[in-house]
């Protein structure tokens, strides 16, 4: 599920070696390289702004629904042409790819299982095009879901109705029961 050998070997760290000054310097390199990648999440979020999304977040009172909506917005940013996953693919950064996938939790992991599947295959075949295909397909799916949610929100008036309707939609999309 987590790919520590793949992450660290790409950065020149063996899990079998003892921790010394060289390993700490390499870890600084890992942190520096990956933090530059994460800046692309912020860029993706600013470019992929969804009109009315903040109103939707304010209208829901159910925590599960809120977490789902935030995860969906994060996935849109991450899979965008301006997001970190695209940047990782462009730079062929295998370590960052493994770190990125292994850091997906909660709804981000639940809503995007094909990312882990393609990573498993990637570490066998090294097919960056397959990773990019999964990125683009994810982006299309996540933006379509966000449009459905905005349409659902705009078609409702009362907070309770919005909360219930979006909550039901969220639970169904995430495979959860009401």
Containing domain of residue 111, as a range? 4-173
**Best-predicted range by mean pLDDT (13-22, 57-66, 159-168):** 57-66
Whether 178 is in a domain gets the answer no
CA 30 to chain CA centroid, nearest Å: 19
Whether 153 is in a domain gets the answer yes
* pLDDT reading at 10 higher than 60: yes
What is the per-residue pLDDT across 101-153, written as a single tens digit (0 to 9) for each?
988 999 999 899 999 999 989 988 999 999 999 999 999 999 998 998 888 88
Whether 65 is in a domain gets the answer yes
Contact 112, 104 (CB under 8 A): yes
Whether 145 is in a domain gets the answer yes
Q: Total structural domains in the chain?
A: 1
The model's pTM: 0.82
Q: What's the pLDDT at 148?
A: 86
Whether 144 is in a domain gets the answer yes
Whether 106 is in a domain gets the answer yes
Q: How many residues does the chain have?
A: 178
Whether 168 is in a domain gets the answer yes
d(CA 19, CA 49): 43
* pLDDT reading at 160 higher than 70: no
Whether 35 is in a domain gets the answer yes
């Amino acid at each position: 599920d987590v790919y520590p050998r793949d992450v660290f070997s790409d950065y020149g760290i063996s899990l079998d070696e003892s921790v010394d000054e060289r390993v700490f310097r390499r870890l600084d390199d890992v942190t520096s390289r990956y933090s530059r990648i994460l800046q692309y999440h912020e860029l993706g979020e600013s470019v992929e702004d969804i009109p009315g999304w903040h109103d939707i977040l304010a209208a829901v009172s159910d925590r599960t629904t809120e977490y789902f909506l935030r995860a969906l917005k994060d996935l849109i940013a991450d899979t965008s042409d301006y997001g970190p996953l695209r940047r990782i693919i462009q730079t062929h950064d295998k370590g960052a790819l493994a770190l990125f996938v292994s850091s997906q939790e909660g709804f981000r992991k639940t809503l995007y299982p094909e990312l882990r599947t393609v990573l498993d295959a990637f570490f066998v075949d090294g097919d960056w095009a397959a990773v990019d295909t999964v990125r683009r397909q994810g982006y299309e799916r996540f933006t379509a879901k966000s449009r459905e949610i905005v349409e659902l929100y705009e078609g409702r008036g009362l907070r309770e109705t919005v909360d219930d309707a979006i909550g039901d939609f969220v639970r169904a999309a995430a495979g959860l029961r009401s």
